[in-house]
Amino acid sequence: MLSTNTVTEAAKSAGLSVATLYRLLRCDEFKTEYRSMRRDIMETSIGRLQHATELAALTLRRNLSCGHPGSEIAAAKIVLENAVKGIEQTDFLERLETLEALEK
């Protein structure tokens, strides 16, 4: 499911029926593992965005007095905004996991 666009495609790719895949999605152990793998992918993606923030900041600086910097500034802005959101999401997830661990 992490490499396909639909549950139907995921089931076919895994050699399962759609019904079987939906049954697995109701299984707590499967859901936990799936979420963990999905989180790993997101953290990798966020790390890549954060790595790109240096280039984005340099792009903004270079284009402060440029004639037509619109496209580069828009891209740089998106990278910076998403890098910040990534940090916020990671921090939120860590706090949530800490609270959930305290409940147990």
| pLDDT for position 12 | 92
> Which is more confidently placed, 8 or 75?
8
Query: Cβ atoms within 10 A of the Cβ of 48, count?
Result: 12
Q: Is the pTM of this model over 0.75?
A: no
Q: How does residue 61 score in pLDDT terms, banded at 50, 70 and 90?
A: confident
Q: How does residue 65 score in pLDDT terms, banded at 50, 70 and 90?
A: confident
CB 83 within 8 A of CB 53: yes
Greatest alpha-carbon pair distance for the chain in Å reads: 59
| The residue to which tokens 């890098």 are assigned | 83
